[in-house]
Amino acid sequence: EVQLVESGGGLVQPGGSLRLSCTASGFTFDDYCIGWVRQAPGKDREGLSCISSKNDKPWYRDSIRGRFTISRDNANNTVYLQMDSLIPEDTAVYYCAVKEENLPYSFIHRLAIDHWGQGTQVTVSS
């Protein structure tokens, strides 16, 4: 069974930073895209970013490019989301997610997701 376990959420002030972690296990497929989706209160889920399992190429939603950075630690089967310059609108539950096919546009904009983590809360507030 594929398991995705997020950590690193919390309460931060505007302008602050957080780094989310996702530890993955149970994969039996090869070329996939793993990344992050968020859901703000009262809003639909929003794909943010994913990174290729083969070449570590990152892809970003335009609205967060430049503030958020995705990376991968292959030795520890972990993917990260470094979030800088946080604003209150970033408040959401952040989910680690996997698309078994390496199709970043489908991951980010169509939410064609195959596996989900449990989510971790990020709150940006003064």
Per-residue pLDDT tens over the stretch 41-83: 999 999 999 999 888 899 999 988 899 999 998 788 899 999 9
pLDDT tens track for 84-108: 999 999 999 999 999 999 999 999 9
CA–centroid distance for 87 within its chain: 17
Taking CA atoms, 11 is separated from 80, 81, 88, in Å, by 18, 16, 11
pLDDT tens track for 22-38: 999 998 778 899 999 99
Nearest to 107 by CA among 124, 118, 119, 95: 95
